[in-house]
Structure 1
Amino acid sequence: MDTKKYSEFKDKIVENVSKVMVGKNDVVELIVVSFICGGHVLLEDVPGVGKTVMVKSFSGSIGSKFTRIQFTPDLLPSDLTGINFYNQKNMEFEFREGPLFSNIIVADEINRATPRTQSSLLEAMEEKQITVDKLTRKLDSPFMVLATQNPVESYGTYPLPEAQLDRFLMRIDMGYPSFEEEAEVVRRSDNKNLSAELGTVVSKEDIEYVQEHYTEVTMNDVVVNYLLDIVNATRNKENILLGISPRGTIALYKASKAYAAINGRDFVIPEDVKHMAPFVLNHRVKFRGSKGKGIYDNINELLEKVPVPTEEI
């Protein structure tokens, strides 16, 4: 594999998105890693920090079809998947595709939809297909769901169950900008069409290459054992209600490989695993009695207790 293609792929997208988003290069990198792995991302933060703009900018950078779905309590599963309707002219049933038949899906305020509607995403996210009236249709590639939700507001919301959360490769907090970054955001607000003006910076061939070949990144037994030590540290502990499932283990494995690739390496080092772990695991681990600590504080504390391999890798 050509690791240069991965680092160039990441650099092009980060540079392009940074024309719109200020100080969020680290978030863009994480989205790129998820995209390479064919995974999905849950962007969780308060309204107004640029979650939807981030997704639109990313979608424009890769030149993929973009669809935004506003989730509401009255949204039905068929509003997402599509329906079979009777065409009186042809006197036969025809399938009308729903908004999930796209490349980049923004599920805005996903926790405002009912569990029934939320569950209609499960097949699409896991198997990249949709079944309507016993007929299964494959979704186009690439396919990625970037969902947003407000972690503070609870009125009129339906919390995502663990099975749904587990379908997301990462959960990322956008965070507030710094003083200097927000000053730049204010100055840029005069141009309201910044995201619409972004051009495509990677080709379809680039996308196919990075998604097909990242698995060629090697991870030796020392690093694999370190990854498994982290996963096992989340299981059978008194202060943890829910540990990492095998799906979460595989997600961390894939993300570590993709992160190594965009950093120009064809092998994974322990630091790659440690860097990706908080974002891949934070929505999969349930801590008991956190004593006011945030989820990232708990995970970082857990990571510090797992010895990092120092052998030659």
Structure 2
Amino acid sequence: MAIAGNGSANAPVNGKLVTVFGGSGFIGRHVVRALARRGYRIRVAVRRPDLAEHVQPLGMPGQIMPVQANLRYRWSVDRAIEKADAVVNCVGIMNPSGAQSFDAVQAFGPRAIAEAARAAGLSAVTHISAIGADATSQSGYARSKAAGEQAIFETLPQSVVLRPSVVFGPEDEFFNRFGAMARMSPVLPLIGGGETKFQPVFVGDVADAVAKAATGEAKAGTIYELGGPDIKTFRECMELMLEIVRRKRLLLPIPFGVAMMQARILSLLPSAPITPDQVTLLKSDNVVSQAAIAESRTLDGLSIEARTLAAILPTYLERFRVRGQFDAHRAA
């Protein structure tokens, strides 16, 4: 079930309730803010609500409430969805850990959410997947994303699935990771030679797309692919990042075979900088398909004007400059 909204940044609370699973994460918190601006009450379903209090100031007092839910325990999913008018799933992981496996989080989890939503009388959910979701992929991440999409549509065919490319924004794990690396290391690795293509999309634009889908402004039963206005190779992304942080670093091409061996060793660490699965993902371009463009299953199709890397990256990468934000007005 979708709920109508007027999209106003100053909309009063309208009494409608949206449950957002994973609403305290990088994308989730922006989704919560986008929905709050449209006047909805939001129930933020997370494993640790005591660590999600930072989402409450995104709306008016009482508008946003964190609650406990774990996708591996159906009863908690049912409880989080109870009396909700719409449901959004933002839960996703790049690195499996313990019980939080790809299949548990990104395949079993979406099915549990969709089944609970159906039991609560809803006809659809809004689900965030990823460009590259593929049941035949060699990547466990991509296979689990495809399984999650299948589970959603098998259970609630009128649902909307959103597949973003690499998402960038103040808390991202892509540009921030390499910005931090550039601050410490004279060399940055280019896995596979840095030729993989991305179409980075601003997290605020993704959040707007999610809000539109959850409030009935997207075509039901559709997969949207979300990419920004810039298609860049891995190398070009690193060059742009280095230009913004005003540092010179050697960009070292690393063949996929060598990168895979390194990733297998690094994956033994508690917090691996890269995993074999991520190396596998880098073997394929991550851009919006021509079919999605032709069928208007994009940000343009949702009447969202995508923001550029050049407009957003300097607003949060300046902290990686030699003098941090105090370099903001110095000549390059």
* TM-score normalised to structure 2 length: 0.30
* TM-score normalised to structure 1 length: 0.31
Structure with the larger RCO, 1 or 2 (CA within 8 Å, 6+ apart): 1
